[in-house]
Amino acid sequence: MGSRRDNALMARERTIYSCIECGGTSPKWLGRCPGCGAWNTLEETIPEPVPAGRNRIQPLARTQPVATLAEIEAAEIAHRPTGLQELDRVLGGGIVDGAVVLIGGDPGIGKSTLLLQAAESLSRSITVLYVTGEESAAQVALRARRLGLAGRQVRVLAEIQLERIIATLEAEQPRFCVIDSIQTLYSDQLTSAPGSVAQVRECAAHLTRSAKASGTAIVLVGHVTKEGALAGPRVLEHMVDTVLYFEGDTHSSFRLVRAVKNRFGAVNEIGVFAMTEHGLKGVTNPSAIFLSTHGEPVPGSCVLVTLEGTRPLLVEVQALVDGGGPSPRRLSVGLERDRLAMLLAVLHRHANIASFDQDVFVNAVGGVHISEPAADLAVLLAIQSSLRGKALPRGFFAFGEVGLAGEVRPAPRGQERLKEAAKLGFAVAIVPRANAPKRPIEGLRIHAVERIEQAIDLVRDL
Ligand code: TYD
Ligand code: MG
**Which residue, among 222, 262, 217, 263, has the nearest Cα to 246 in the 3D structure?**
222
The closest residue, in CA terms, to atom 11 on ligand 1 is: 108
Q: Is the pLDDT of residue 221 over 80?
A: yes
Nearest ligand, CA 111: 1
pLDDT class of 292 with cuts at 50, 70, 90: very low
8-state DSSP, 183 = G
* Residue 439 CB partners (closer than 8 Å, separation 6+): none
Peptide bond preceding 181 in cis form (omega within 30 of 0)? yes
- pLDDT tens by residue, 121-134: 999 999 999 999 99
| Ligand 1 close to Cβ of residue 108 (< 6 A) | yes
pLDDT class of 148 with cuts at 50, 70, 90: very high
The closest residue, in CA terms, to atom 23 on ligand 1 is: 279
The mean per-residue pLDDT over the stretch 216-228 comes to 81
Please give the pLDDT value at position 17.
87
Residue to substitute in 113, 130, 230 for testing ligand 1 pocket (most ligand atoms within 8 angstroms of CB): 113
Looking at every residue in the chain, the average pLDDT score rounds to: 86
| Ligand 1 close to Cβ of residue 278 (< 6 A) | yes
CA 136, CA 141: separation in Å to the nearest integer? 9
Three-state secondary structure call for residue 282 = strand
The mean per-residue pLDDT over the stretch 58-67 comes to 80
Q: Where is pLDDT greater, at 13 or 303?
A: 303
> Rounded to the nearest 5°, which phi and psi values hold at 308?
-90, 105
Ligand 1 centroid to Cα of residue 110, in Å, is 5
> Rounded to the nearest 5°, which phi and psi values hold at 360?
-125, 120
The closest residue, in CA terms, to atom 9 on ligand 1 is: 110
Lowest-pLDDT range, 129-143, 187-201, 390-404, 439-453?
Answer: 187-201
Please give the pLDDT value at position 386.
95
Q: Is the pLDDT of residue 385 over 60?
A: yes
Q: What is the pTM of this model?
A: 0.70
Cβ 2 vs Cβ 10: under 8 Å: no
Cβ 279 vs Cβ 112: under 8 Å: no
Nearest ligand, CA 103: 1
DSSP 64-77: -----GGGS--PPP
Please give the pLDDT value at position 140.
96
Three-state secondary structure call for residue 38 = coil
Q: Where is pLDDT greater, at 34 or 87?
A: 87
| Ligand 1 close to Cβ of residue 267 (< 6 A) | no
What's the length of the chain? 462
Q: What percent of the chain has pLDDT over 70?
A: 87
Ligand 1 centroid to Cα of residue 9, in Å, is 48
Beta 95-96 vs 79-80: how paired, if at all? Answer: antiparallel
337-351 and 376-388 helices, crossing angle to 10°: 60
* Residue 236 CB partners (closer than 8 Å, separation 6+): 102, 182, 200, 201, 204, 220, 222, 230
Beta 242-247 vs 330-333: how paired, if at all? Answer: unpaired
**Which residue, among 311, 13, 294, 280, has the nearest Cα to 143 in the 3D structure?**
280
* Residue 249 CB partners (closer than 8 Å, separation 6+): none
Ligand 2 centroid to Cα of residue 118, in Å, is 14
Q: For residue 399, count other CB atoms closer than 10 A to its CB.
A: 30
Three-state secondary structure call for residue 159 = coil
| Beta-bridge partners for 363 | 318, 333
Q: Where is pLDDT greater, at 409 or 1?
A: 409
pLDDT class of 289 with cuts at 50, 70, 90: low
CA 197, CA 360: separation in Å to the nearest integer? 48
